[in-house]
Amino acid sequence: MDLRIDRLATLYIVQRLRRYASNGKLSIPILMYHSVAEEDETATHPYYRTATSPPMFGAQMAALAQAGYAAITLPQAVSRLREAAPQSRKNVVITFDDGYRNFHASAFPFLQQHGFTATMFLPTAYIGESNLTFNGRECLSWGEVRELQKQGIDFGSHTVTHPKLYGLDPREIRREIMDSKQSIEQKLGVLVESFAYPYAFPEADSRFRQQLRNLLREAGYSSGVCTAVGRPDGAADPLFLKRLPINSCDDRSLFAAKLAGSYDWIAKPQYLVKMAKQWAKSVKA
């Protein structure tokens, strides 16, 4: 059995301490899902798993509904965080990366059941007129994307080929973020405002962040998410909003703790590790 230091610290230390301290800032949890399917990830540490079984996903959506959450889109979340006004209901943003087809059969029915919307980020090279594959999983077709769009699902860009943008030539980064946006807009006939950064986000490299921010704004994006962990507040960069990674290991207790902010502490050690790697890279150079 894997030792879950993050779980132990969250449930038995941070969650208890937060009962006595709160910064009072408005934060909106943004959940990060990938595949909703029964997959064997026993060889992967629970923190890094990306699959959520359909029964667990259904339980998580039910927990959101029972806790009084309303699902909103990413642009709506950005707007509400900027306003920082009291909300009549608790808000959550539900996101899915990679455009996997199992979203259609295994996730969407639970979203419909509770009246939730969600945002799916598409790597457009793997979305075709027929079902293509990415990471060994079947992806949505454009026909299925259009069907889901009519049912209220929002779509954003996840680049064209899902590359590691960090280290790519700026011209290649521009092509990845602009071409994917244009493809989705042409296929769906709507403005695409949101972008999801693929792979680990290099938040410790301020120069790269500024370069990417400029390219995203140039392409016409107004909101975006990354893989840094946490819940964004009004001070967050709207193009690099933090998310909460969710998978089958998020039982009711851990799921509730993440929603409430007790998992946000992960951001600091995560950032320190990235800083150390960035420093080591500069020393070698």
119 occurs within a structural domain:
yes
Lowest mean pLDDT among 3-7, 176-180, 252-256: 3-7
Is the four-CA dihedral 51, 225, 5, 56 of positive or negative sign?
Answer: negative
Question: Residue 74 to residues 49, 81, 205, 258: CA-CA distances in angstroms?
Answer: 24, 11, 25, 18
Of 182, 101, 169, residue with least CA distance to 137? 101
Total structural domains within the chain: 1
113 occurs within a structural domain:
yes
Overall residue count recorded for the chain in this entry? 285
CATH of the domain at 219: 3.20.20.370
66 occurs within a structural domain:
yes
Lowest mean pLDDT among 18-27, 165-174, 239-248: 18-27
Does 67 or 22 have the greater pLDDT score? 67
Phi and psi at residue 95, to the nearest 5°: -120, 150
**Interatomic CA distance for residues 157 and 197, integer angstroms:** 9
The predicted model gives 133-158 an average pLDDT of 97
Range of the domain at 107: 5-18+25-277
Band (1; pLDDT cuts 50, 70, 90): very low
Q: What is the pLDDT of residues 234-256, one digit of tens each?
A: 999 999 999 999 999 999 999 99
Q: Does residue 277 surpass a pLDDT of 90?
A: no
Of 235, 238, 205, 207, residue with least CA distance to 224? 238
284 occurs within a structural domain:
no
Helix (H) or strand (E) holding 147: helix 142-150
155 occurs within a structural domain:
yes
227 occurs within a structural domain:
yes
Question: Residue 201 to residues 148, 165, 196: CA-CA distances in angstroms?
Answer: 28, 9, 10
Considering the chain, what is the average pLDDT of its residues? 93
285 occurs within a structural domain:
no
What is the DSSP secondary structure assignment for residue 262, as one 8-state letter?
Answer: T
283 occurs within a structural domain:
no
Q: Does residue 142 surpass a pLDDT of 90?
A: yes
**Interatomic CA distance for residues 17 and 189, integer angstroms:** 48
Does 274 or 143 have the greater pLDDT score? 143
